[in-house]
Amino acid sequence: MSTKQTVPFTGTPQQAEQLYKVIEELKDQPGSLMPIMQQAQEIYGYLPIQVQTMISDATGHPLEEIYGVATFYSMFNLNPKGKYRISVCLGTACYVKGAGRIYEKLQELLGIQGGECTADGKFSLDACRCVGACGLAPVMMINDDVYGRLTVDELPAILKKYQ
């Protein structure tokens, strides 16, 4: 998982206030770290170092413990999602049909690693498992649009549609 922060943090005082309220309510309950992290992700959309540090400072949990949880569970994101969320299926059928090359090419075209978001906030890139369209392998989705029987050469034109 990429840990690089590709998009500047733009949290607001209102969001911080919301987060501290959640922490105040939950922090004395045993095992409350994950619920706090889930709610923090709902407030901010993701869990950058700034948010994890706020949780650490307010709960006393070491920052590393929070980061360890955040990188263990795939539901937690260290980077925001873009306006256009690209998911490349790396399930078995898509993979044998060359989805790995699609994924690599997208990283190259967008200049980001999987799990990251472009600096302008437009595209985020993730790998996913089977979207239920194995007959169309290899498959990727951009938000709700499905692209099947993909080749590497088609990718620049597809991305251009969203620029």
Partner 1 sequence: MELLNIKINGREVSAPSGSTILEAARLANIDIPSLCYMKGINEIGACRICVVEVKGAKSLVAACVYPINEGMEVWTNTPKVLQARKKTLQLMLSNHKKDCLACVRSGNCELMELCRQYGVDDAHLYDGEMTPSEVDESAVHMIRDNSKCILCRRCVAVCKETQGIGVIGANARGFATHIGSAFEMGLGETSCVSCGQCIAVCPTGALREKDFTEEVFAALNDPEKVVLVQTAPAVRAALGECFGLPIGTDVQGKMAAALRQLGFDKVFDTNFAADLTIMEEANELVERVQNGGVLPMITSCSPGWIKYCEHYYPEMIPHLSTCKSPQQMFGAIAKSYWAEKMGVDPEKIVMVSVMPCTAKKFEIGRPDEAANGMPDVDIAITTRELGRMIQKAGIRFLDLPDEPFDHPLGSGTGAAVIFGATGGVMEAALRTAVETITGETLGKLDFTEVRGVQGVKEASYTVGGLTVKVAVASGLANASALLDKVKSGEADYTFIEIMGCPGGCVNGGGQPQVPYGIRNFVDIRAERAKVLYDLDASNPIRKSHENPDIQELYASYLGKPGSEKAHHLLHTSYVARTVNPKF
Nearer to partner 1 among residue 73 and residue 143 (C-beta):
73
Q: Is 49 in the site for partner 1 (CB under 8 A)?
A: yes
Q: Shortest Cβ distance from residue 21 to partner 1 (Å)? A: 20
Q: Shortest Cβ distance from residue 49 to partner 1 (Å)? A: 5
The CA dihedral of 19, 24, 26, 32, to the nearest 10 degrees, is: 70
Q: Shortest Cβ distance from residue 79 to partner 1 (Å)? A: 12
Q: Which stretch binds partner 1 (CB under 8 A): 34-42, 45-53, 104-112, 130-138?
A: 45-53
Q: Of 24, 25, 42, 64, which lies in the binding site for partner 1, with binding defined by CB under 8 A?
A: 64
Q: Is 56 in the site for partner 1 (CB under 8 A)?
A: yes
Distance (Å, rounded) from C-alpha 17 to C-alpha 142?
Answer: 33
Distance (Å, rounded) from C-alpha 100 to C-alpha 123?
Answer: 19
Q: 78: alpha, beta or left, given left = phi > 0 and alpha = psi -120 to 50?
A: alpha
Q: Shortest Cβ distance from residue 55 to partner 1 (Å)? A: 10
Give the binding site for partner 1 (CB under 8 A): 1, 3, 9, 49-50, 52-53, 56-57, 62-68, 71-72
